[in-house]
Each structure stands twice: as structure tokens, then as C-alpha cells.
Structure 1
Amino acid sequence: MLVRFLAALLLVLGLAAPVAAQDKRIALTFDDAPRDRGAFLTPDERTKRLIDGLRQAGVEQAAFFVNPGFLSRPDGQGGEARLAAYVAAGHVLANHSFSHPALTDLTAEQYLADIDRAQAWLSKQPGHRPWFRFPFLNEGRADKAKRDAVRAGLRQRELTNGYVTADASDWNLEGMTIAAKRAGKPMDMDALRDLYVRMHVDAAEAFDGIARTALGRSPAHVMLMHETDLAALFLPDLVAALREKGWTIVTADTAYADPIAPLAMTVDVPSAQGTLTEAIAWEKGMSPPRWYEGNSPEVATRWFAETVLKEAK
């Protein structure tokens, strides 16, 4: 009897080990749609390549956080059709405000009115989800009264916080490619791909480590990305690299059903801005680092200069 019990125990432990090693889950989300053109593609080309890349990578559902006010920009022309194409491909849309303001620049009432303008457009779109993501991940910073007023306004509107748990600051990398292109600087595209992929994978790993320390487990993560040329060019490579590190790509619906989701509306830290991972760790008294080193513009600029532009240190 004892022998059978020990054998069964070993079998259970043996089966449990791979599950624990493969519990890293992450959803892909893209901000600022429809975004202005980047360094390499037209907006139409970018959308097509993103859809093709997501399909090629086997990503069932990504989320695009929309700024309807961007539709009136020159590069926003045709944006309705591009957003509809994402939905037709199985992806979802959510609210990123109408005009992309920083909460610290407006009153809570003005900010909520901007959200309402976006929601009036989004509520008529198929594939819409009731998630709101703060532009710049700025939730009021040190102004807790404003933070709480907006949280209350979101609850009244039956919107939830479209938080992120992992961030590689891809907006900075995109900005550097645009500046290099305009300056006529040659870029090593293989190195650019490798840097883009490495930064996102390393960010996922770093924030997951922080989450495991703060929570005692790995939540279903939400990766912050932007609707950029770099995502369109390198997304299959990124997904392959994440899977090689043991990550499973899940839907945004799955990620936002994680038990940490309600914390996005209650976590209390001295300055409300950034990832939910960072906020949870800060609230629990964890010391820095609570973020990924590549989020530092100075660090990412050095990496870009050294690897992509081949500029001397």
C-alpha cells in the first residue's frame, strides 16, 4: 500500500511540474489605433501586416485600444475600415479616450467627457469591450481625489480599467526609428527586429518576476504595445520568442478575467501611473526595481544606437 501511495505521489508531482513551468500567460494589446504612420509602412499596409502577422502567429484575439479623435487626422483617413478589419479578423476594440489627453492636464469632469465622446463612437462598433485604458497610463499621479473621481466615473459608466501588467516602452523604440529614417540614417533591420523582440520578451519576464514576488503567482498578463510599424513587421518573431520562453498567448478576454482585475480600481499608491504590476508591488512595500530597465529612455536609446545604428559607444 505504501509503495503504491508513493508511486502515485511521484506521478502527481511529475505531472504537476510541467504545468507549473508553463503557467506564464499573456495577452497582446495595442494602443492609439488608428495611429499615425511610422517609418516604414502606410497605415493600410500596417493594418494588413498586423492582421496577417497575428494570424500567422496563431494569436486568436488581440485588443486594440482606440482613440476615435484620431480618425480626423490625415493618417486617420480610412481608419474606420482598418478598425473594422481588426474586428473581422477576430480581434476586439476598447476605449483609449477620444483625444488621448493626460489626466493630470484636465479636471476629472473634462476627462470623463472625453471618455464619453470615445464611448459614443465605440458603443456602435462590433467587437467592442467595456475597457478603458488611461493614455500614458496616467491615472492622476499624486492627485488621489482626481484618481478616485475618475474611478467612480468609470464605475458609473460600467467601464473597467484596461490596465497593463507588462510594458516594453515600444513607443520609444518607434520614435527612434522615425527620427533615424527622417535623418537618413541607415538602420540594421535584423538588429532592429532582435531589439524589438528582446525588449518585449525581457519586459514580460521582468514584470512576471515582480508579479510572482508581490502576488505569489503569475497572473494572466496584459502586454502594452502600440499599433506601430515595428509590431506589424516583427510580431510573428515576437510571439515565437515568447513561446520559446514558455509563454502562452491568451485572449484579452481571458487576461481581464484574472482575479487581479478588480485591483486596478482599488490599488492605492503615492503616484498612480504605470503598470498594475508596479502598483501592486509598490502597495505591498516592495523596493525598486518594480519595472523593466528598458523602460528607461536613456537605456533604450543607448541600445538602439549601439545595435541598430551601429554608432560607437
Structure 2
Amino acid sequence: MKRWLVAIVAACVAALPAMAQKRIALTFDDVPRARGPFLTPDERTARIIAGLRKAKVPQAAFFVVPGNLSDPDGAGGERRIAAYVAAGHVIANHSFSHPALKSMTAAAYLADIDRAGAWLKGRQGLPPWFRFPYLDEGGSDKGKRDAVRAGLATRGLSNGYVTVDGSDWNIKSLTADARKAGKRVDMDALRDLYVETHVESAEFADGLARKALGRQPVQVMLLHETDLAAYWIADLVAGLRRKGWEIVGADIAYRDPIAKLHPDVPSAQGTLLEAIAWEKGLPAPRWYDRNTLSIATPLYRRRVLHEGQ
């Protein structure tokens, strides 16, 4: 190709609108989960797989907690994990018992990771990623943080970090509580809130990244294996695409240069992007506002349960 043509192509790419550079991977935590407020575990897995296929998501990552397999309400969890892999997705280590690092020693925490690793060893679709439960890397205990970071490195594991978080666990918990209490749940409003929250969280992360990094890294969205995802993952993907997001695999996301960053901040808990922004000196809030429960919970009650109207 002639040099002048190469220059024209490069100039055109540089001139593309920012939306064309927005890429995001979808990841699901706490697999396999027990029965939810609406679906059996088998129904939920089938719907998530079907929704991802319908939305043409190339690859999602499911972070596994093998200790969940002992829950009798979630019988068949190993079969469901295999179903995700058979559908073209990947699985990764999320610890054996989902502990908070702040509540135990680094040695005990690493032993829990090893226990999960022993269960996962040899399974198909297993990249070398570990995701911290609760996104807790030790809080303000830098010695513990660094000990676990070093332990992961010796095990050949990298941080399965998150950059986009909409606290879907809170939406799910509020829905389960409402169902248990016999309250009417407006399903259309719940769908809209679920989709809107996650799309807005991605947009927030895009803006934060531009400020903290001066560019748009490949984002990683945190979801959980919930009934809400089973119902509306295709709607969520459609909402992201309307905002210009391209859905990519987690393997692409974790090749972004930010994967090599280990921010040194006063408290190591939360998204990687938040920590990067904190280290860069950006003022709070460095997180999407609906991750603040005093904001998210009243919004849910007003819009989904129609309380206080």
C-alpha cells in the first residue's frame, strides 16, 4: 500500500468518533448460584446462554466459586458450569468460599484460592485469572495486599479486575426481598432499571477513563449470575450498543495495558479504574453513583415497587 494511502487511512481512523472506540467485556461472578426469586438454576443458565447467543456476545467470562456446589438448592452446578463452556464462554477462579481478604490472613486466603484452583484444574475454558470476592484486595492493609499480589504472581494468576460496576447484586437482593414479602414487582420497570443502570455505569467508566488515562481502555463489566441477567442480558447488550459500545471477549479486555497496573492507594477495594483515578489524584466520587446504596435503594423502591408515590 502506498505511503500516502496509509497516511489517509491512519488519519481517518484517528478522526473516528469516540463512540467507535468503546469496547467492553461481560463477566459474571459467583457461579454457580442457587435458586433465585423467579427461576431455577437450570432455567437461569439456559436463559443466560440463550440471551448471550441472541445478543451475539462473542465470549463472556464466568468466575466460579466451587464451594457453592455444596448448596442443595443449586444442585447440578457442575453441569451448568460445563454448559457455559460448551457455549463458547470461559470460566475462572473466584476463590473456593468467597471470603473477604480483610477478614483473614494472606496465607489462608491464598489457600482458599488454591482449593478453588484444584477444582478448576484441567477444565476447558480456563484462563489464568483470579477475581477478588467483593473486589476486596485487603483494604487499607498494604502488607496483606502485597502478599496476595505476590502469591497470585507465583501461581501464574493475574487479577481478573473490573472497571464497570452497577451493583446488580443490590438490585437482585431488593427483588428477592420484595418477592419474599409478597410485594408486587413491576417487571417492566425492573427491566428498565437493570438495563439503564448498567449502561449508565459503562458510560460513567468511559468518562472516568478519559480523565484518568487520557484514553479509552477496554472495559470489564461486573455482573452476577442472577435471574435478572437471565431475563435481560440481551436487552442490556442492545442498550450498550445503542450507546456505541462494542462487546468483546474478556480475553481481549485483559490484554489492555491497564491489566499490568497495580495502583498504590490508601484502600485497595473497588474497581481497577477507580483505583487508577484515585492514584492519579482525581477527586471523589470515582464511582458510579448507583453503587451508593443510599441512592440506589430508594430509586429501586420508587420505580420498581412504586412506593412513596
Cα deviation for residue 207 of structure 1 reads 1.2
* In 1: Cα distance, 2:126 partner to 2:19 partner: 34
Q: In the alignment, what sits opposite 2:274?
A: 278
CA deviation vs aligned residue, 1:178-233 (integer Å, no higher than 9, x gap): 00000000011010000000000000000111111000001000000000000000
Q: Provide TM-score, normalisation by structure 1.
A: 0.95
CA displacement, residues 104-138 of structure 1 (integer Å, 9 cap, x when unaligned): 11100000000000000111211111100000000
For structure 2, the residue ranges without an aligned partner over 5 or more in a row are none
2:211 to 210, 213, 218: 213
Alignment match, 1:171: 169
Match of 1:161 in 2: 159
Match of 2:183 among 179, 182, 185: 185
The match for 2:121 is: 123
| Aligned-residue offset at 1:21 | 3.1
Give the aligned residue type for 1:173. Answer: I
Partner of residue 31, structure 2: 33
Task: Name the SS for the 1:128 alignment partner.
Answer: coil
Which stretch shows the higher mean deviation, 105-114 or 296-305? 296-305
Identity of aligned residues (%): 65
CA distance in 2, matches of 1:14, 1:220: 21
Q: Are 2:204 and 2:288, in contact at CA under 8 Å, matched by a contact in 1?
A: yes
Query: Which residue of structure 1 aligns with residue 131 of structure 2?
Result: 133
1:267 deviates by 1.2
TM-score by length of 2: 0.96
SS at match of 1:140: strand
88-97 or 15-24, which moves further after superposition? 15-24
Name structure 1 gaps, 5 residues minimum.
none
Q: List per-residue Cα deviations over 1:2-29 (Å, max 9, x = no partner).
A: xxx9xx9998655543354310000000
Q: Please, which moves more after superposition, 68-77 or 159-168?
A: 68-77
- The change in CA–CA distance for 1:149 and 1:12 in structure 2 (over 3 A counts) is closer
Q: State the aligned residue count.
A: 306
Contact preservation (8 Å) 2:35, 2:74:
no
Secondary structure, counterpart of 2:15 in structure 1: helix
Judge conservation of contact 2:32–2:77 (CA < 8 Å) in 1.
yes
The reply on whether 1:71 has 2:69 as its aligned counterpart is: yes
Select the residue among 279, 284, 287 that pairs with 2:283.
287
Amino acid at match of 1:145: G
**Aligned residues: CA RMSD:** 1.6
Alpha-carbon distance between aligned partners in 1 of 2:286 and 2:172, rounded to the nearest angstrom: 24
Counterpart for residue 239 of structure 1: 237
Report the Cα offset of residue 60 of structure 1.
1.0
Distance in 2, Cα, partners of 1:275 & 1:47: 26
Task: Give the 5 Å matches for 1:25-104.
Answer: 25-104=23-102
Aligned-partner Cα distance in 1 for 2:10–2:193: 40
In the aligned structure 2, how far is the partner of 1:12 from the partner of 1:74?
A: 57
